[in-house]
Chain A
Amino acid sequence: MRPDFWVVQTFNGLSYGALLFLLASGLSLIFGVMRIVNMAHGSYFMLGGYLGLTVALRTRSFAMSVVAATVAIALIGMAMERFFLRRLRGQDLGQVLMTIGFALIFQDLALLIWGGDPYNLPVPAALSGGLRVGGAVFPIYRIFIVGVAVAVGLGLWLLLDRTRAGAMIRAAVDDGEMAQGVGINVPRISLAVFGLGAALAALGGVIGAGFLGVYPGADFEVLPYAFVVVIVGGLGSLPGAMAGSLLVGLLDNFGKALFPELAYFTLFAPMALILAIRPTGLLGRA
């Protein structure tokens, strides 16, 4: 092992975990408020990446691609909730199956529109290159991802903890019936949360496209990771999503580096175990 192996791996795990946080925080919120297993969440991630790519190539602006992707996918998410999922309120399985149907449709649409070639999102020069510390190089883009995740995390926390809207969301997560009972417009909250969750996934997709690229199959590849994070951290819990994504990012990295034959096992087996002991996740509520 190289001397800086541990440092570099920890950093890599952190940056990957940061990306997962963007993806999983939205999923966790959606779970929490609506108890929906959104199998199309990976599709939001992938579509966000593709849309961001197109916008980036047209406008040569990274910022624009981020904004465009998040807004567009948020709208798609909200449409999905408002016109399709809402009809199946209360039918957990039906909602899951419906999101699967959408995931298939999105997968094919992406293939139709963007073809099957893999692409890298062009990133601004300011974010390229690496930071030299000692003998190791830390890519600036990955530091950027960590920064974005931290900012998003802070923003979400402020939203949930310090605003009225956030209080309403938390009420809806804790007990939807009671929340409706005290006059909170739960359907509207659901719509907003779904949109927010989709936007976060898309944000993850655009930013992730800068170092993982965007390609067909990204949707179903990233979905299990998002699930693991949310389940380990606890459904509906933001601190849980943070803890979960850090844990998963590090586990995945070190697992691949140290135990290549058991790489996925080191990720999913702990998840299954945690669930067995605490079915609501480490920091979740029932």
Chain B
Amino acid sequence: MIRRRALAAVIVVGALAALGPVLPAYPLTLITQALIFGILAMSLDVLLGYTGLPSLGQAAYFGVAAYAVALLATERQVGLLGCAAAGIALAAVTAAVFGVVAIRARGTYFLMITLALGMVVWGLAFRWVSLTKGDNGVSGVPRPELGALSLSAPLPFFYFALVTAAVSWTLLGLLVMSPFGLGLKGIRGSESRMEALGYNVWLHKYLAFVIAGIFAGVAGVLWAYYNGFVGPTDVQLVTSVEALLMTALGGPGTLIGPALGAGIIVFLKNFVSVYTKRWLLILGAVYIGVILFAPHGVVGAFRRPRR
């Protein structure tokens, strides 16, 4: 089973890599966006799909990392390695701090706490103007250089994002198939049973929370470089909601599902808006349709749901 998954993974990544030079610039940038949000959605899947913790606050770690990169790159001229390390570290620390507060709750309450924590970060991004420039955002973030290779053009940056996404997918895949990951799935099924079996449920949940935060941070680092701009809208509630929707649409608990969901949403938003101003309405209808008719998401509909 692992071999089948790995083979599928190689095919997907290989296909995308081969498509790169063939595609025109604009669809390539859209796929890049889809990859970045794919990482974000996968990070949420660790929490939602595998541990059963629905978070409405992933944008917080995404945003913290993005702002770190943007501010360090524009104000201190820090290079890729430094910015990425700082961004991911900051996201991890934020998740570590927030996790202590959030893990106490479950289900609906967990949703609410993560929403509140996400709003705390948004509030700071929006109002701590001397640091984050408030609504003006931080612009002029230069594309990084990998040695002699500049990532300014769409194609090199696409490959950069693809590699990062593939690595993230691999790492997360290994995580969820490890004993730790199986423990998470057990917790999703029944916390009390896992407690009875002697698992340290709190630690499992907390680590999952921090890991999710770390990978959300990875996505944030890429996003800052991709746009060259970071603003409070990147940290707002809507971003966390979209991550949740991508995960649910793709199929929680499958890792590839949420990534696919991210792709679908990115393309839907950009395609549909070309043909009609009512794209938001269509998006809402799509969500409702999926929830009613394919509750396990797109990928879930392909697979039989695992009990």
Contacts and interface: CB of A to CB of B under 8 A. Distances in A.
Contact between A and B in the complex (any CB pair below 8 Å): yes
Contact of A104 (B54, B98, B107, B283): B283
A165 to B, nearest CB: 25
Given A100-B241, A104-B281, A268-B116, A262 B108 contact: no
Interface residues of B, number: 45
Nearest to B131: A261
Interface in A244-265: 260-265
Nearest to A35: B108
Given A104-B283, A264-B119, A276-B113, A37 B124 contact: no
B210 interface: no
B285 interface: yes
B112 A227 contact: yes
A94 interface: yes
Interface string B277-302: 01011011111100110010000000
Contacts of A156: none
A275 B245 contact: no
Interface centre among A37, A39, A92 (most CB of B within 10 A): A37
A108 B241 contact: no
Given A105-B284, A108-B281, A231 B120 contact: no
Interface string B78-109: 00000000000000000000101110110111
B126 interface: yes
B153 to A, nearest CB: 35
Contacts of A261: 127-130
Contacts of A268: 116-117, 119-120, 123
B245 A108 contact: no
B280 A92 contact: no
B158 to A, nearest CB: 29
Given A262-B127, A272-B101, A105 B116 contact: no
Contacts of A223: 237
B50 to A, nearest CB: 14
B305 to A, nearest CB: 13
B167 interface: no
A104 B280 contact: yes
A88 B291 contact: yes
Contacts of B207: none
Given A97-B287, A276-B113, A264 B105 contact: no
B244 interface: yes
B238 interface: yes
Given A91-B295, A98-B291, A261-B128, A275 B109 contact: yes
Contacts of A273: 101
B42 interface: no
Contact of A279 (B104, B119, B244, B285): B104
A276 B99 CA distance: 10
B37 interface: no
A17 to B, nearest CB: 18
Interface centre among B122, B129, B281 (most CB of A within 10 A): B281
Contacts of B120: 264-265, 268-269, 272
A87 B280 CA distance: 24
A224 interface: yes
Interface of A: 31, 35, 37, 39, 84, 87-88, 91-94, 96-98, 100-105, 107-109, 111-112, 220, 223-224, 227-228, 231, 235, 260-265, 267-269, 271-273, 275-276, 279-280
Given A98-B292, A103-B284, 18 more contacts: A37-B111, A39-B241, A93-B48, A93-B248, A96-B111, A100-B241, A101-B284, A101-B288, A108-B284, A224-B237, A227-B115, A231-B116, A263-B123, A263-B127, A264-B127, A272-B113, A276-B101, A279-B109
9 contacts: A101-B288, A105-B285, A220-B237, A227-B116, A228-B116, A264-B124, A268-B119, A271-B116, A272-B98
Closest 7 CB pairs of A and B: A264-B123, A104-B284, A101-B287, A105-B284, A108-B281, A101-B288, A276-B101
